[in-house]
Structure 1
Amino acid sequence: MVLVLAVTAGGLLIVVAELLGLIVCAAGVWWFLAHRGVARLFGALVAVAAPAVLVLLYIHDGLWRTALVLGLCWGAMLAFGHAALRSSLPKRSHRATAARRPKRPVLIMNPKSGGGKVGRFGLVERAEKLGAQVILLDPAAQSDVAGLARQAVAEGADLLGVAGGDGTQALVAAVAAEHDLPFLVVCAGTRNHFAMDLGLDRSDPSRCLDALTDGEEIRVDLGDVDGRAFVNTASFGVYADIVRRPEYRDAKAGTALTFMPDLLTGEDARRIEARVDSTALPPQQALLISNNPYTSPDALTGGDRRPRLDTGELGVLGVRVNDAAEAADLAVRGSQSMGLTVTTAQRVEVTSSTPDAPGAAEIPVAVDGESLHMPTPVVCTLRPAALRVLLPRDRPDIPAPVPPVTFRRLIALAFGRPI
């Protein structure tokens, strides 16, 4: 039916118009991000006007019914495609084993994390009631979280846990992995990507504490960037440059819009050079190295999940967009665009090339959202099955994410080929 509508009753006009509208909208978004002042305003107007003009065109030419039906058909096709791809994927490979109840669990809690979730959900009181020792970080002082975890191990802790953001999680997870102790994730951060991919209930962090009395254990990989562990991502380029700005913590969106033009096209524009295993990448504006691969490029915006945390591979996502035409190509072709790199690796070596300081001695790196500076080259690797994670038995069963629906994948599925 979609094919019939696409070539009859104005359907071909609709398809062409929507393709052109997508290209124009993408170009407008690029102008909005890469410029300031009048050019930014022009880009915003173009991005908003493109879909509005399409709607007016459909109404004027009496094509709105055909456009609506065609849109519904495409939506149904995508829904059925997602369902088919999801059903074809193998089950999650995480094999949980029965866990003994810890005798001396120690939990480190950040009262500021996630807008005060520790206090709002009564995590300290509940943890202590379940027999855990709680170390409450001082919001007014800089705490050595890894040092506190090592001290707890020296004093006999047989489990380490964190109620805080992913950056804090990674620091304590490294200590737990070093001593082969179970690690408890309490999702009290803002986004809790690691907890989401573990299937934990992010709406109620107190449910994570059920693992202390009725838990099971899995082993997952741990990312490593120059000796520092990460549970989610190590980011280079545009995002890392934005995160290091002092004002970023209080105004993320505003800071990003303020500095984006300089970081994309200005004199401060940084190009990241990297070697993925034995292959050299062309200079990238943004490079994201993940602890296990995400299923689609949405990982760059935080809109994706990792179906597995035990593949033994790093995920690699890179973006290279220099003008409005390349932005449009990325919007239209997605993962097939020349400006996007999507691959996996065992080892990634990152260096920096900037207009004013080629081969700079240090580059900014955002490790699980924390801003750091590291000497080049920065090497990212993976520690397979390094971390023992203690999970509650009763946790949301999040379905495995599916790759983007493309004709190539659907045809491969129809003929029984690997997707």
Structure 2
Amino acid sequence: MRGMVRRLTSADHDFVRSTAAWPRSAADPALRRLTHLADHSKLWLGLAAALATRRGRPRRAALRGAGAVAFTSAVTNGIGKPLLPRRRPAANLLPEHRRLAAPPTSSSFPSGHAASAAAFTAAVSMESPRLGLALLPLAGAVAYSRVHTGVHWPTDVLVGAAIGTGVAVATHRWWPVRPAAPGLARPSARTAAIERGEGLVLLVNPASGGGDPSCELARLLPRADLVHPIPGRDLTEQLHAHLDATGNAQALGVAGGDGSVAAAAAVAATRGLPLLVVPTGTLNHFARDLGIVDAADSLRALSSGSAVDVNLGAVLVDDLPQRWFVNTASLGGYPDVVRLREKWAPRWGKWPAGAAALVRVLASAEPIPVRINGFRHRIWLLFVGSNGYRPKGLAPTWRPRLDTGVLDVRYVRADLPFSRARFVVGALTGALFHNRAYVQQECRRVRVEVLGPPVALARDGEVSVTGRAFTFAARDGALQVYRPERDEPRATPRPAFGVARGPS
């Protein structure tokens, strides 16, 4: 080890001496300015702020990059520099015009600038390889500027870059990268191709968060029957009444967010109509899982008659009629977790916001005594997803398939010693899958009986009814949805009832 250190030190000195002989150039002041710009990660946080103004992958890349930089700074400054102190290069090794006026006095090893540059670039690359490739020359220039200005040895920079890259890759454990491909589903062979909106009843929710698309949709679909929500009236009742009055609708469409989509999907599934989804809301989880990015995708599928059959979740509450959900349903504190997570996610990112929301809700929650499929438990909250969600941990975000025929059931147990603390530790360490306080199962049906006061049911982010007996079931191929044609692999066999993903 000592011999290797001596050889690396000798190589460091040789490299610095050889670069000291380079002639003066315009790169010298440019690299000094660049290295100052990267002080305290100002450069990377500024780029993250700029990327965060764009929705989708750029925003996720910005949040992952900023998080990676924060963790990397903690590792390099809180662990690396105190444990492995090293003197910085002597001032006389380089000409004066290349040196910084006020060089840092902390340990030279490892380079925090190089670590942050590598962390941000690697993290952005995980979400958007093109953006990462564009940032690579800038990150390399920042890392080299530390050697060029005489404040780091080359090995400081190399080790710092390795630390930053490692931290960025490690973020995948807590916040898996959402795949670019949409969820798979069985192609449908019974869909009507519709031109110019003929026979289409289209619900347009101008209050969904993405602006009022009514004028544009009326131009693109001049023969469609546009319907707007009536304030104070239930959307499903309004749509049923409108379809009864129309009598000849060939398809039902919805332009809005997940709440509007859920209402339209319930009507379409009940009446056996194909559903057109136009993502114009603030949150478009169902559309994203379908691979529908904008109205152009929706209209292309509508005109070609391309559609898939997807599964829905259904729930019976006490003696009330069946209710549908396209994404998720939940009991207990989970509605509050979702509300806080979505409120904080634009500032902090989905995983940090989800963790903070869970801690906030669990700190004030009361345990709920229940029977789940006949077995008594005490739980803090329960989540039920239509089809299996990924990741299998804190923040279920996407579905690789929309036709699995199962429910994704997750709940946090309250009948274990220190259950809240155990759950929070598991969430923070990314080890929820092996945590006894957190249960994950996939099954076709689950019955939850509340052994106390009635609790609220939330469906697709909307709190709907309260009750004591909840029967959740997967409805196979219940909904036919338009989406652009793509190659779909042959459907795989579905899991049998009660495939467990955690302790029961």
Q: CA deviation at 1:212?
A: 2.9
CA contact (8 A) 1:167 1:230 kept: no
Q: CA deviation at 1:249?
A: 12
Q: Structure 1 residues 58, 281: CA separation in 2 closer, same or farther (over 3 Å shift)? A: farther
Question: Aligned residue for 2:407?
Answer: 314
Aligned to 1:213, what secondary structure does the other structure show? helix
Q: Structure 1 residues 257, 77: CA separation in 2 closer, same or farther (over 3 Å shift)? A: closer
Q: Structure 1 residues 257, 142: CA separation in 2 closer, same or farther (over 3 Å shift)? A: farther
Amino-acid identity (%):
30
Q: Deviations over 1:192-220 (max 9, x none)?
A: 1111111111xx33541333322312111
Counterparts of 2:165 and 2:71, CA distance in 1: 23
Q: Structure 1 residues 114, 205: CA separation in 2 closer, same or farther (over 3 Å shift)? A: farther
Equivalent position amino acid for 2:409 in 1: V
Find the partner of 2:447 among 349, 352, 355: 349
**5 Å matches for 1:2-401?**
52=74, 55-60=77-82, 61-62=84-85, 64=110, 65=156, 66=159, 68-69=161-162, 72=165, 92-97=184-189, 99-102=191-194, 103-119=198-214, 122-127=216-221, 129=222, 131-138=223-230, 141-154=231-244, 155-201=247-293, 204-226=294-316, 227-241=322-336, 263-266=361-364, 268-271=365-368, 273-275=370-372, 277=373, 280=375, 282-297=377-392, 301=395, 304-320=397-413, 322-324=419-421, 326-332=423-429, 333-352=431-450, 359-360=452-453, 362-393=454-485
Q: Deviations over 1:355-389 (max 9, x none)?
A: xxx511x2112100101232111111111111111
Counterparts of 2:170 and 2:424, CA distance in 1: 26
1 or 2 for the larger relative contact order (CA 8 Å, sep ≥6)? Answer: 1
Q: CA deviation at 1:282?
A: 3.9
Q: Structure 1 residues 68, 297: CA separation in 2 closer, same or farther (over 3 Å shift)? A: same
Q: Deviations over 1:124-149 (max 9, x none)?
A: 3323x2x21111224xx223321232
Q: CA deviation at 1:294?
A: 0.5
Aligned to 1:297, what secondary structure does the other structure show? coil
CA contact (8 A) 2:422 2:435 kept: no
CA contact (8 A) 2:184 2:403 kept: no
Counterparts of 1:389 and 1:286, CA distance in 2: 31
Equivalent position amino acid for 2:452 in 1: G
Q: CA deviation at 1:225?
A: 1.6
Structure 1: runs of 5 or more not aligned: 1-47, 353-357, 398-419
Q: CA deviation at 1:74?
A: 7.5
Counterparts of 2:171 and 2:470, CA distance in 1: 40
Q: Structure 1 residues 281, 207: CA separation in 2 closer, same or farther (over 3 Å shift)? A: farther
Q: CA deviation at 1:394?
A: 7.7
Aligned to 1:283, what secondary structure does the other structure show? strand
Q: CA deviation at 1:345?
A: 1.1
Scaled by the length of structure 2, the TM-score of the pair is 0.55
Q: Structure 1 residues 364, 243: CA separation in 2 closer, same or farther (over 3 Å shift)? A: farther
Q: Structure 1 residues 260, 325: CA separation in 2 closer, same or farther (over 3 Å shift)? A: closer
CA contact (8 A) 1:114 1:189 kept: yes
CA contact (8 A) 2:384 2:409 kept: yes
Counterparts of 1:339 and 1:249, CA distance in 2: 21
Q: CA deviation at 1:240?
A: 2.1
Q: Deviations over 1:17-65 (max 9, x none)?
A: xxxxxxxxxxxxxxxxxxxxxxxxxxxxxxx899737633201224635
Equivalent position amino acid for 1:105 in 2: L
Q: Structure 1 residues 74, 110: CA separation in 2 closer, same or farther (over 3 Å shift)? A: closer
Counterparts of 1:78 and 1:145, CA distance in 2: 40
CA contact (8 A) 2:355 2:427 kept: no
Counterparts of 1:50 and 1:145, CA distance in 2: 48
Counterparts of 1:181 and 1:71, CA distance in 2: 52
CA contact (8 A) 1:160 1:176 kept: yes
CA contact (8 A) 1:236 1:272 kept: no
Counterparts of 1:162 and 1:242, CA distance in 2: 27
Q: Deviations over 1:220-255 (max 9, x none)?
A: 1111121110000001222224679xxx89967899
Scaled by the length of structure 1, the TM-score of the pair is 0.65
CA contact (8 A) 1:314 1:381 kept: yes
Counterparts of 1:49 and 1:101, CA distance in 2: 51
Aligned to 1:284, what secondary structure does the other structure show? strand
